[in-house]
Amino acid sequence: MTLELDLTRDPAHLRHGSNIGQPLARRDGVLKVTGRARYAADNHPRGMLFAVLAVASVARGRVASLDIEAAKAHPGVVEVMTSANRPPLADDPDGKPNPFAFRFEALQNDRVRYAGQPIAVVIGETLEAATEGASLLSPRYETEPARIGLDGNEAYIPPVVGMGFPAESRHGDVDAALAGSAKTIEAIYETPPHYHNAMEPHAIVAEWQGDRLVIDTPTQGLVMMQARLAGLFGIPPENILIRSPYLGGGFGGKGLMAGPQVLGILAAKLVGRPVKLVVRREQLYGPFGHRSPTRQTLRLGASAEGRLSAIHHHARIVTSSFEDFYESAAHVTHTLYAAPAIATTYDAVRADTGTPLFVRAPGIAPGSIALESAIDEMAEACGIDPLAFRVQNYAEVEPTTGKPFSSKALRECYTQGAERFGWWDRPLKPRMMRDKDGFLVGWGMGTATFHALMFAGQARAVIRRDGSGVVESGAHDMGQGAWTAFAQIAADSLGLDLDQVTFKAGSSDLPDAGIAGGSAHTATVGTAIHNAGAAVIGKLAELATADRRSPLFGAGNAGVVARAGRLLRRDDESRGESYGEILARAGLSEIEASGSGLPDQAANEHYAMHSHGAVFAEVKVDPDLGQVRVSRMIGAFAAGRIINPKMVRSQLIGGMIWGVSLALHEEAITDRRSGRIMNANLGEYHVPVNADIPAIEAFTVEEVDPHVNPLGIKGVGEIGITGSAGAVANAVWHATGIRVRRFPVRIGDLVGHG
């Protein structure tokens, strides 16, 4: 609860270790486990009706007929909304008002662009009536052949990939370097489509109050969604209130507004009553984005001693027929290993699929499993331990830009992770270890990395005459613990105890917190809160130091320290007064200030900013049945300042579990004729469950980053997945001697090699 206020320097001289840095329990935890946290679908405004989506069962064509009469004749069905009767929108869903406004389907016509696209909405008095009504629509289609998967269409070079990166980038002459290399490898890796699979389905409760719109829906981007809806419905943003206090997981799938949310609002407009639309589990595999499948070709060259001379990382990716989103799967290669020649290239195909979008560590997760596998293969080719190989190809500066890193404690991650795991007892060759039951045992590792980003966010801080504080920002807690971390930063920024500070978030009428994504929310909103707190303390200090009646008179802002609800003279801490006294004497009931969190452009030009980590995995493989079990995992991460170590550990472990998933479990399987996802449910789309997850340990190493932002926060949301998938895949090779390059690793890849 100390704020060392010195406005002559950066106002960021926050003394660390009061609330920030404490392993506090999640503030919303009890509400969640007792069922008192109200998620979007828990809302029931008076007079509410239920809406159910009907979705296309073909990938491409048009809806030729729907039996609307049959649906409407069903008792309890109130209305059927199709492209023929849906209320008008002020903006075209196929328009592109900004690069983050992705095209979507809101019954604008009868076209079908992918299986799972909404083609009608049935509105009923009960969920059962609407569901039954939707099943009576008996759609008929005029179909065209579906273009599915990585080879379903002609390939082209995408205009840009990821967040606007060039689709081709070359540093040095890769082909010449490869030709001159003592060792070369070339390998092709594939990853399947991934779906977000958050526990909480997308849902919306929409109520029109005249031309005011009140909605409850889970979102990772409140104000962005508010702006998009304002454009679509032709009303001012301030007429739209979006409440999103709790999310049951986001994973990128709730980052952007999606068509079904607009359909819920349109349905409410059509019937003139509040409407709830909860998307059924199998309908989540379509209009909400997914991760593109990838086919990645890695060509690596190295000297006889195992120094990398070249890396070429090429990725084939898929986007939809009507939108451009290109998974930046090769991007990880720009940063991770030092090589004089590095090239990344892409091509893409358009498929009859919902538009792929951001999913858990976009680009980096699938890219990293390919790169980390290839590095392992090269280490093997050179006869060098995979960790030693990585250390000897350590990038001291970002290899493709030459920029120094703003901080990079990856070496410490390698060292400490390896020590805790016992890595150095690892035999170099595969198939050398068995456990007492005869299972093959393998050890593998991977390097984790994720960019340390910031977006733009705002916060407002208030100090009241009673000495309490309020901090507000329309921030999002997807389950990662953001509310708790932000409350910790808020308390420290105000020089107050946590229980004296109210932190408000999760609503669109609060200051714009930007988007909770890109692992940037804590850095962005944390900086905004920190700056808002410093600004309000600065105002208080101005009041006091200019007032002859104050013991702080004449001290100057820089001569004041905020601590435990009091401003104190820096040169004599026995002299000071409480916030309440300062406000009372000034005749104010409260004082407020705003702050923003923005990336520091100058720092970004000078430094490469990334989090790092090292993940070590042990697997056991049944030599007869090919079954793989991860038996232990250790991850060491360097991510700058850690606001709450308890929740950071939980996020890192969560990421590592998704890494296990990528390596061994998850895969959406598409029917090539219909374009339908055949395993669109949590029974058959495998994600790790408790029994799949062994002793996992994650820890952070000390890392001070003076450049990323005033608090030195680099973000932990997504990095856990990035080294982990490769570590597991490499451990499978070490156990079996079989290099599986098409993920997830399947039993069939390993069986019969006993």
Stretch that binds ligand MOS, among 62-70, 355-363, 483-491, 656-664 (CB under 6 A): 355-363
HEC string of 460-523 equals: EEEEECCCCEEEECCCCCCCCCHHHHHHHHHHHHHCCCHHHEEEECCECCCCCCCCCCCCCHHH
Stretch that binds ligand MOS, among 83-91, 123-131, 296-304, 359-367 (CB under 6 A): 359-367
Cβ count within 10 A of residue 425? 8
Q: How many residues does the chain have?
A: 754
Kindly tell me which of 288 and 486 has the beta carbon lying closer to ligand MOS.
288
CB of 315 to ligand MOS, least distance (A): 17
User: Is residue 290 involved in binding ligand MOS (CB under 6 A)?
Assistant: no
CB of 651 to ligand MOS, least distance (A): 12
CA 397, CA 609: separation in Å to the nearest integer?
11
Q: What is the dihedral of CA 509, 510, 511, 516, to 10 degrees?
A: -100
CA 475, CA 486: separation in Å to the nearest integer?
9
Q: Are 294 and 313 in contact (CB under 8 A)?
A: no
Instruction: Give the β-pairing of 61-65 and 469-472.
Output: unpaired
Kindly tell me which of 192 and 517 has the beta carbon lying closer to ligand MOS.
517
Judge if the upstream peptide bond of residue 623 is cis by omega within 30 degrees of 0.
Answer: no
Q: What is the largest CA-CA distance in the chain?
A: 87
CB of 512 to ligand MOS, least distance (A): 17
Kindly tell me which of 254 and 734 has the beta carbon lying closer to ligand MOS.
254
Kindly tell me which of 446 and 479 has the beta carbon lying closer to ligand MOS.
479
Tokens 């979006």 label which residue? 242
Of all helices (H) and strands (E), which one includes residue 381?
helix 364-382
Kindly tell me which of 279 and 591 has the beta carbon lying closer to ligand MOS.
279
Structure token digits, residue 156: 């082209």
- Choice from 162, 201, 517, 626 touching ligand MOS (CB under 6 A): 517
Number of residues this chain uses to bind ligand MOS (CB under 6 A): 11
Q: Are 729 and 662 in contact (CB under 8 A)?
A: no
Q: Are 492 and 559 in contact (CB under 8 A)?
A: no
Distances in whole angstroms, Cα of residue 317 to Cα of each of 297, 359, 363, 501, 659: 12, 14, 10, 47, 20
CB of 194 to ligand MOS, least distance (A): 11
CA 199, CA 326: separation in Å to the nearest integer?
26
Kindly tell me which of 350 and 360 has the beta carbon lying closer to ligand MOS.
360
Site string for ligand MOS, 386-415 (x = CB under 6 A): ------------------------------
Q: Are 230 and 239 in contact (CB under 8 A)?
A: yes
Kindly tell me which of 165 and 699 has the beta carbon lying closer to ligand MOS.
165
Stretch that binds ligand MOS, among 128-136, 303-311, 354-362, 374-382 (CB under 6 A): 354-362
Of all helices (H) and strands (E), which one includes residue 108?
none
CB of 383 to ligand MOS, least distance (A): 38
Site string for ligand MOS, 297-336 (x = CB under 6 A): ----------------------------------------
Site string for ligand MOS, 151-190 (x = CB under 6 A): ----------------------------------------
Kindly tell me which of 252 and 444 has the beta carbon lying closer to ligand MOS.
252
Q: Which residues contact 175 (CB under 8 A, 6 or more apart)?
A: none
Stretch that binds ligand MOS, among 245-253, 364-372, 530-538, 604-612 (CB under 6 A): 245-253
Q: Which residue is nearest to ligand MOS (CB)?
A: 252
Of all helices (H) and strands (E), which one includes residue 642?
none
3-state DSSP call for residue 602?
A: helix
- Choice from 245, 362, 481, 565 touching ligand MOS (CB under 6 A): 362
Stretch that binds ligand MOS, among 321-329, 356-364, 564-572, 623-631 (CB under 6 A): 356-364
- Choice from 246, 358, 439, 616 touching ligand MOS (CB under 6 A): 358
CA 253, CA 265: separation in Å to the nearest integer?
19
Catalytic-labelled residue, pool 132, 200, 377, 718:
718
Stretch that binds ligand MOS, among 40-48, 58-66, 358-366, 619-627 (CB under 6 A): 358-366
- Burial of 588 (C-beta count, 10 Å sphere; 0-12/13-18/19+): middle
User: Is residue 360 involved in binding ligand MOS (CB under 6 A)?
Assistant: yes
Given its phi and psi angles, is residue 306 left (phi above 0), alpha (psi -120 to 50 degrees) or beta? left
Kindly tell me which of 116 and 252 has the beta carbon lying closer to ligand MOS.
252
Structure token digits, residue 318: 């898929």
CB of 250 to ligand MOS, least distance (A): 5
Is residue 618 annotated as a catalytic residue, yes or no?
no
Kindly tell me which of 206 and 668 has the beta carbon lying closer to ligand MOS.
668
User: Is residue 220 involved in binding ligand MOS (CB under 6 A)?
Assistant: yes
CB of 362 to ligand MOS, least distance (A): 5
CA 717, CA 722: separation in Å to the nearest integer?
11
CA 252, CA 220: separation in Å to the nearest integer?
8
CA 405, CA 639: separation in Å to the nearest integer?
12
Site for ligand MOS in 247-286 (CB under 6 A): 250-252, 255
Stretch that binds ligand MOS, among 145-153, 244-252, 634-642, 649-657 (CB under 6 A): 244-252
Q: Are 623 and 440 in contact (CB under 8 A)?
A: yes
CB of 518 to ligand MOS, least distance (A): 4
Site for ligand MOS in 46-105 (CB under 6 A): none
Mind telling me the catalytic residues? 718
Residues that bind ligand MOS (CB under 6 A): 220, 250-252, 255, 358-360, 362, 517-518
